[in-house]
Amino acid sequence: MSQTALYHFLTSVPEAAAIWSFLLLLALGLLAALVARPERDPAPDAVAEPADADAARRDDLVRYAEEVAVAAAGAAQTAGRRRERWLAEQDEADRAWTAYDEADAAARRLAGAAALAAPRTPRTPAEYAARERWLHHAAMTAHWRGDLTARQLADVLAGRNGWDPRRHPAEQEIVLARTIRDGRRAGWESAAARERAAWRDAELAAEAARTLAAEAYAAAAALRPAPAYESATTSPVPVPASVRNARWRPARVG
């Protein structure tokens, strides 16, 4: 009896070992097949890729819209500052023109009075000294008012460039008035040139602000979700005419 049981044990063990070896090899083969062909079981990242791409594109749009909005705000501030500068230059040019007009009127009035004969005075050293004192005092007063430059005042005091202290005060007054008129005219021309330059800068800044404002509006409109009834091929939201055709350029006063 014991020999029969031992015989069955010895003969069944190799068979069981062969069966288990076969099952083990089959399991290893199936595992290798699954590893070699991962597309049969797609990874979670591959499924979520379209959503991630849409989110990345929207993040780019948001970042672009924010950058354009900041640039538009900065351009608007620049346009405002340049407009204020232009208005200040315009006021300065108006004051310079008023000063020149007054000087021109005074020079014309004195030129009309020059038709009258100058009063005759004795030509003595005291008379010439008085004439020189009058001219120096009038020239220094004009310099303090800003009507004569330091170089012109030096010419008067030194008797250079046509300044002759021996002339009668009536003649000296005419020459002085013409010099003041010419100086104020040069000041007005310089102020007018600065005003024109400031005007051009203000126009360029206003145009840049208008363009960036329209671009910022278009970028913000692109972020708004489209209505459900609109198809995917619907054209972008147009920039409204109030923004597209806005005239930011400053209007001249008077």
Within a domain: 134: no
Rounded to 10°, the helix 125-145/169-223 angle is 10
Within a domain: 183: no
Q: How many CB atoms sit inside 10 A of residue 147's CB?
A: 20
Paired tokens of 200: 């051009």
Q: Which pLDDT band, with edges at 50, 70 and 90, does 220 fall under?
A: confident
Q: Which pLDDT band, with edges at 50, 70 and 90, does 116 fall under?
A: low
So what's the pLDDT on residue 157? 92
Within a domain: 209: yes
Within a domain: 218: yes
So what's the pLDDT on residue 55? 77
Q: CB of 195 within 8 A of CB of 86?
A: yes
Within a domain: 148: no
Residue pLDDT, tens place only, 167-178: 888 889 999 999
Does the model's pTM come out above 0.75?
no
Single-letter residue type at 245: N
Q: Which pLDDT band, with edges at 50, 70 and 90, does 148 fall under?
A: very high
Within a domain: 162: no
> Who wins on pLDDT, 71 or 119?
71
The least confident of 25-29, 69-73, 121-125, 128-132 is 25-29
d(CA 46, CA 56): 16
So what's the pLDDT on residue 111? 81
Which domain does 59 fall in, by range? 53-117+202-222+236-254
Within a domain: 165: no
Give me the mean pLDDT over the 242-251 stretch: 43
Number of folded domains in the chain?
1
Closest CA to 163 of 188, 126, 138, 127: 138
Within a domain: 150: no
> Who wins on pLDDT, 33 or 64?
64
Torsion angle in degrees (nearest 10) through CA of 221, 225, 228, 230: 30
